[in-house]
Amino acid sequence: MSSALQGKKIVLGITGSIAAYKAAVLARALIKKGAEVQIVITPAGKEFITPVTLSALTSKPVISEFFAQRDGTWHSHVDIGLWADAMVIAPATASTIGKMANGVADNMLVTTYLSMKAPVFVAPAMDLDMFAHPSTRRNLDILRSYGNHIIEPASGELASHLVGKGRMEEPETIVKVLEGFFSTQQQLTGKKIIITAGPTYERIDPVRFIGNYSSGKMGYALAEACAERGAEVVLVSGPVNLQAQHPCIRTIHVESAAQMYEATTAEYKNADAGILCAAVADFTPESVAGTKIKREKDDLSLRLKPTQDIAAALGRQKRDGQLLVGFALETDRELEHAREKLERKNLDFIVLNSLNDKGAGFRTDTNKITIIDRQNVTPYPLKSKKEVADDIIDRLVSLFN
């Protein structure tokens, strides 16, 4: 069977770490899988491995300077960024990771990184204390927030003879990560997926609203996961402090449940699936005061009317072949309530998260879910919202198949 790396154009960035010798093995392994490899190396990287070795392995000149030394040809980092299907920086030193996180483009590698249109994978390599330093942790978090994939270093004996976490992951593992990425990338190609995310704000007067604690993190992670697998994503988002990164995500910003209903029902008409992750208000003020409500009385009553249930409306609108996924955040009798919603809203499956589970629910970076369909109840362990998103999208992909 041919590898998912067949014909893929990979920029391999090499920095000044002793693990640079493994980059030669990585380049060779990628080429054996059918990939085309262009190496970009930092000046310090060249102290650890010679460009002659690398260019012999890849059959391409190694790029390290803005200008080729012999004939003065200019190397366009923009062209490399457009050419690549992926960039892998292996090994990535603390210094390069810091430069990438902060846009310090003082060499060809970081300049190429900043111009990169394709997904970027970073395989750190450094001594355990450098890896554990708060600045390294923070810079890696920044890279994650840019949508870059971090290939965590392994634990073991380091070049310093100290033992700990910091060893660059082995070339064969890095190849597996890339192969896995490219093989899942096609799973949702040609599919349009609508995702709702975040809270809704229901206006009371010009300065006040009824809202909830939803951060939108789970919905945004789902949007990124679908886009990474090739889908065209429409993200209907309530007010959150997040921004979608992937170019295949179109965000429609809404505020109220009514606006979310309008946008979502219109977009679902020609969609293949809807994932309803938003924490939509169930009630909204019957009327919105035109001016700020004054503190004149001892008490204030607001009359609320129900909002439209978007999930139930899409469940009625759903055609053959369309999929619909809902969420249930419960505090009691979780399974029973989730099953009831699965039926009432005509969902294909429902993702249950319980406020009783530590680390699950609102504003956390982790979640613990159970996926419920008409046949099975599948509990998952506590994971990052990104990993949870992948589990949910795996299920969606299996239903499409």
Applying CB under 6 A, the site for ligand C5P has a residue count of 15
Please tell me the distance from the alpha carbon of residue 91 to that of residue 154, in angstroms, as a whole number. Answer: 13
Query: With CB under 6 A as the contact rule, which of the stretches 169-177, 233-241, 271-279, 316-324 interacts with ligand C5P?
Result: 271-279
Region from 6-14, 109-117, 276-284, 369-377 binding ligand C5P, contact rule CB under 6 A = 276-284
Cα separation, 69 vs 85, whole angstroms: 27
- Does 349 participate in binding ligand C5P (rule CB under 6 A)? no
Span interacting with ligand C5P, options 15-23, 32-40, 106-114, 324-332, rule CB under 6 A: 324-332
Provide, rounded to whole angstroms, the least separation between the CB of residue 398 and ligand C5P: 20
- Per DSSP bridges, beta strands 154-157 and 163-167 are antiparallel
Stretch that binds ligand C5P, among 16-24, 81-89, 107-115, 305-313 (CB under 6 A): 305-313
**Does residue 326 bind ligand C5P (CB under 6 A)?**
yes
- Out of 121, 181, 268, 327, the only residue in the binding site for ligand C5P (CB under 6 A) is 327
Instruction: Please list, in sequence order, all residues whose beta carbon lies within 8 angstroms of the beta carbon of residue 312, skipping any fewer than 6 positions away.
Output: 344, 345, 346
CB crowding 180-219: b at 16 or more within 10 Å, else e? ebbebbebbeebbbbbbbbbbbbebeeebbbbbebbbbbb
Measured between alpha carbons, how far is 256 from 333 in angstroms, rounded to an integer? 29
User: Site for ligand C5P (CB under 6 A): which residue of 257, 352, 360, 369?
Assistant: 257
Position 217 contacts ligand C5P (CB under 6 A) = no
Binding part of the chain for ligand C5P, among 7-15, 74-82, 180-188, 302-310 by CB under 6 A, reads 302-310
d(CA 4, CA 9): 12
Q: State yes or no: residue 87 binds ligand C5P (CB under 6 A).
A: no
CB of 137 to ligand C5P, least distance (A): 34
Compare residues 77 and 368 and give the one whose CB is closer to ligand C5P: 368
**Residue 401 CB partners (closer than 8 Å, separation 6+):** none
- How big is the chain, counted in residues? 401
If binding is defined by CB under 6 A, does position 352 make contact with ligand C5P?
no
Tokens 């060499």 found at? 107
**Least Å from the CB of residue 263 to ligand C5P:** 12
Query: Hey, what amino acid is at 337?
Result: H
Question: Nearer Cβ to ligand C5P, position 159 or 377?
Answer: 377
* Nearest in space to 6 (alpha carbons), one of 179, 165, 160, 156: 179
- Does position 311 interact with ligand C5P (CB under 6 A)? The reply is yes
Distances (CA, A) of 30 to 34, 53, 171, 178, 337: 7, 15, 9, 9, 49
Q: Is 201 in the site for ligand C5P (CB under 6 A)?
A: no
Q: Binding ligand C5P by CB under 6 A: which of 263, 310, 324, 360?
A: 310
Catalytic residue among 102, 107, 139, 212: 212
Tell me the closest approach of the beta carbon of residue 328 to ligand C5P, in angstroms: 5
- Please identify, using beta-carbon distances, which residue of 179 and 348 lies nearer to ligand C5P: 348
Residue with Cβ nearer ligand C5P (179 or 272)? 272
Options 249, 276, 342, 396; binder of ligand C5P; rule CB under 6 A: 276
Q: 3-class DSSP state for residue 313?
A: helix
Please tell me whether residue 307 binds ligand C5P under the rule CB under 6 A: yes
Reference 351, options 380, 320, 331, 309; nearest CA is 380
212 is known as an active-site residue: yes
Under the criterion CB under 6 A, does residue 278 sit at the interface with ligand C5P?
Answer: yes
Q: Closest Cα to residue 108, out of 120, 116, 117, 119?
A: 116
CA 45, CA 110: separation in Å to the nearest integer?
13
For ligand C5P, the closer CB: 45 or 199: 199
Q: Please state the φ and ψ torsions of residue 43, each to the nearest 5 degrees.
A: -55, -40
The residues carrying an active-site annotation are 212
Give the footprint of ligand C5P on this chain (CB under 6 A): 196, 257, 276-278, 280, 282, 307, 309-311, 326-328, 341
